[in-house]
């Protein structure tokens, strides 16, 4: 198991094929922008090739897997969309998703290129360890840019730390407290994968993300894969 991410046994019992690609970033310079417009324009073209229209999005096997997962813990996948599906739909609408900060831009790029949900947190704002578990329903959660508490539903899959939820519906909505900002120097970034995604795909995505972060943000990057019956 990762030193930073703890996946509960209940998650693996319900979703035995779940794989997490975990990237720990130390000493990054997250100020400014990536400055490589071709990187983002290229992946936007790729997305439009994969998804000629909005109807095609829900038929992609890597997105269908998350829709089924959401149903399993009681969430309507048409109301709550995994982050990779939400990003794809933003691109198809012609919206720009770049220019947040370097780490977020890079992990959004990886999410689109591999059709996998990816999210990141500032390690220095995390209290205790990050845990993926089913929620009790009383945990505190304030969404990105929000101010009001929106606790999770009982039984909902969430990322949380000792202070509350940091991402609701597994990978639907990031919290504000642990968000990545330009002042972030140390981060944990997680790639979520369900079958038909496999370990080689996750490792490729993890390796490419690590290379991009080292190139554009500097610092030290260490990656590992967390899956049922395997440590690191």
Distance CA(22)–CA(192), nearest Å, equals 9
Distance CA(219)–CA(186), nearest Å, equals 9
Query: What pLDDT sits at residue 2?
Result: 66
Q: What is the DSSP letter of 230?
A: B
Query: What pLDDT sits at residue 35?
Result: 84
Q: Which ranges of the chain have pLDDT less than 70?
A: 1-2, 231-232
Closest alpha carbon to 186 in 4, 34, 6, 19: 4
- Which residues make Cβ contacts (< 8 Å) with residue 19, sequence separation at least 6? 193, 194, 197, 198, 199, 202, 225, 226, 227
- Which residues make Cβ contacts (< 8 Å) with residue 17, sequence separation at least 6? 194, 195, 228
Rounded (5°) CA angle 128-131-134: 135
> Tokens 């972030």 correspond to what residue?
184
Give every strand in the sheet of 157-161, ordered side by side.
5-7, 130-134, 157-161, 164-168, 173-174
Give the CATH architecture of domain 5-227: 3-Layer(bba) Sandwich (3.50)
Is residue 192 packed enough to be buried (19+ CB in 10 Å), middle (13-18) or exposed (0-12)? buried
Query: What pLDDT sits at residue 98?
Result: 93
DSSP conformation letters of 77-144? TTTS--HHHHHHHHHHTT-----S-HHHHHHHHHHHHHT--EEEEEGGG--S-EEEEE--S-----BT
Closest alpha carbon to 22 in 225, 197, 178: 225
Listed by start position, the domains of the chain span 5-227
Query: What pLDDT sits at residue 231?
Result: 45
Distance CA(87)–CA(114), nearest Å, equals 12
Query: What pLDDT sits at residue 54?
Result: 87
Query: What pLDDT sits at residue 4?
Result: 82
Beta-bridge mates of residue 19: 193, 227
Closest alpha carbon to 114 in 159, 83, 90, 92: 83
């Amino acid at each position: 198991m990762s030193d930073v991410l703890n996946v509960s046994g209940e998650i693996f019992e319900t979703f035995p094929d779940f794989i997490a690609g975990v990237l720990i970033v130390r000493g990054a310079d997250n100020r400014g922008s990536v400055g490589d417009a071709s990187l983002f324009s290229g992946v936007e073209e790729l997305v439009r090739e994969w998804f000629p229209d909005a109807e095609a999005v829900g038929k992609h096997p890597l997105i269908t897997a998350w829709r089924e997962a959401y149903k399993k813990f009681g969430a309507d996948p048409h109301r709550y969309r995994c982050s990779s599906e939400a990003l794809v739909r933003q691109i198809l609408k012609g919206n720009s998703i770049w220019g947040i900060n370097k780490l977020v831009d890079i992990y959004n790029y990886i999410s689109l290129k591999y059709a996998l949900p990816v999210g990141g947190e500032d390690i220095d704002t995390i209290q205790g360890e990050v845990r993926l578990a089913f929620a009790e329903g009383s945990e505190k959660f304030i969404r990105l840019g929000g101010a009001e508490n929106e606790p999770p539903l009982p039984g909902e899959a969430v990322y949380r730390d000792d202070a509350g939820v940091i991402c609701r519906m597994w990978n639907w909505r990031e919290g504000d407290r642990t968000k990545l900002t330009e002042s972030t120097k140390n981060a944990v970034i997680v790639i979520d994968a369900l079958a038909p995604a496999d370990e080689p795909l996750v490792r490729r995505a993890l390796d490419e993300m690590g290379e991009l972060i080292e190139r554009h943000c500097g610092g030290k990057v260490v990656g590992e894969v967390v899956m049922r019956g395997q440590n690191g």
